[in-house]
Amino acid sequence: MKKRVFIVHGWDGSPKSDWLPWLQKELQNRDFEVLVPKMPNPEEPKIETWVPYLANSVGEVDENTFFVGHSIGCQTILRFLEGLPKDKKVGGAVFVAGFSSTGKSTLKGLTEEEKEIIAPWLNAPINLEKVKPHLPKSVAIFSDNDLYVPLSNKDVFEEELGTKTIIEHAKGHFTDESHITQLPIALKSILEISN
């Protein structure tokens, strides 16, 4: 059975932004089925639209279903996994510049307007205990100079989910603004967890 990878873009992103098109092509060249949903209203992402949208895009999950998320896309994946039936497992996930919810994660460098948009994502708790059984393998990738996601977020992934974490040097928030149009570490990570 063909392995499926769902790549979930970040806030204000799209399937064509940053390193996503590159990763999609690289995985397709390796015979993965790759879907990059265009998430609704990316300028103002909302939990109540993003999580169901991802669920509809994915359909049934199994051990051949993998995820790659960027920034708020990581949280969307975590919330989707949290809501899965107890007996469902996915193959794994790669989180790039990910964060969780209040008390566990912090963000920095946001304007007042951005803080308002992100508030529900930070204040509505994610039960990572519920996520963990669905997620046998995961990797979280951070940058040591991310403008928004402090490195302290890696502790959440390591401690709560047993995620392997990787710190990249000077990759910013892994966006076009940081000139990141390819992300070999994300490719390497998804290939490792899908083997």
Q: Residue 123: give its domain's CATH number.
A: 3.40.50.1820
- Residue 106: which pLDDT band, with cuts at 50, 70 and 90? confident
pTM above 0.95, yes or no: yes
DSSP structure string for 134-160: G-S-EEEEEETT-SSS-TTHHHHHHHH
- Pairwise CA distance, residues 180 & 130, whole Å: 33
* Number of structural domains in the chain: 1
Give residue 67's pLDDT band: very low, low, confident or very high (50, 70, 90).
Answer: very high
Residue 91 confidence (pLDDT) above 80: yes
Hey, what are 22's tokens? 């590159």
Q: Is the pLDDT of residue 103 over 70?
A: no
| Domain, as residue range, for 80 | 4-193
